[in-house]
């Protein structure tokens, strides 16, 4: 339903121009590659680049991009086909939140680096909350832990993820800050924003 809404919105509001499609394809390839690099710490962590996708493409096209990334990742054994829906929902939550924060802070007097870093961190935090909520609501089959024990484990996982989110926020901030000076047209912004 969410993906159908994105497709309807894209068709209704805009026909993607060549430049937007090219940026979306580049974001898909870059994020897919970054997603496959797992750092063997705490069972494996990785960057998602979903907030960067949001800033470049917006929430509708960004949602389609993360769906494609999750399908491709499942095809090579990263996450599995049974997790495509859940992973995509979490990633869409990150995309939408990061986009709203980045665009919403445009009127503030902070620079692009700070706006992108804040949007990234908040977007990834929202994704962690969504992940925890989905697991608690759906339950984990075949486990003899109480809801409190599961929440404790998920909270530890979220803390680790937020450490990675801080690194990703800095990386995204530098990328958007640089491109904002060099090519503001790629961000859909003028020279002085």
Cβ proximity of 124 and 90 under 8 Å: no
Taking 60 as the threshold, does the pLDDT of residue 138 lie above it?
A: yes
Task: Tokens for 52, please give them.
Answer: 């960067």
Taking 90 as the threshold, does the pLDDT of residue 92 lie above it?
A: yes
pTM here is 0.86
Q: What average pLDDT does range 134-158 have in this prediction?
A: 81
Q: Could you tell me which residues come within 8 angstroms of residue 51 by beta carbon, excluding any fewer than 6 positions away?
A: 94, 95, 98, 102, 116, 119, 120, 123, 124, 168, 169, 172
Q: What average pLDDT does range 55-60 have in this prediction?
A: 90
Which domains, and CATH codes, for the chain?
A: 2-187 (1.10.1760.20)
Confidence of residue 10 (pLDDT cuts 50, 70, 90): low
Average model confidence (pLDDT) for the chain? 85
Taking 80 as the threshold, does the pLDDT of residue 90 lie above it?
A: yes
**Closest by Cα among 129, 154, 158 to 143:** 154
Q: Could you tell me which residues come within 8 angstroms of residue 124 by beta carbon, excluding any fewer than 6 positions away?
A: 48, 50, 51, 94, 98, 161, 162, 164, 165, 168, 169
Phi and psi at residue 83, to the nearest 5°: -100, 0
């Amino acid at each position: 339903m969410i993906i159908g809404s994105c497709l309807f919105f894209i068709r209704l509001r805009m026909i993607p121009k060549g430049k937007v499609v090219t940026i979306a394809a580049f974001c898909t390839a870059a994020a897919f590659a970054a997603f496959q690099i797992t750092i063997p710490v705490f069972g494996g962590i990785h960057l998602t680049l979903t907030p960067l996708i949001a800033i470049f493409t917006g929430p509708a096209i960004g949602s389609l991009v993360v769906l494609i990334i999750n399908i491709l990742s499942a095809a090579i054994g990263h996450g599995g086909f049974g997790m495509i829906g859940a992973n995509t929902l979490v990633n869409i939550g990150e995309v939408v939140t990061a986009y709203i924060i980045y665009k919403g802070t445009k009127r503030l007097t902070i620079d692009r680096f700070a706006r992108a870093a804040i949007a990234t961190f908040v977007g990834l935090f929202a994704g962690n909350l969504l992940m925890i909520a989905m697991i608690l609501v759906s339950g984990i089959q075949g486990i003899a832990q109480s809801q409190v024990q599961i929440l404790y484990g998920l909270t530890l996982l979220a803390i680790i993820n937020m450490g990675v989110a801080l690194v990703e926020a800095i990386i995204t901030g530098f990328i958007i800050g640089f491109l904002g000076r060099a090519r503001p047209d790629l961000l859909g912004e003028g020279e002085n924003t």
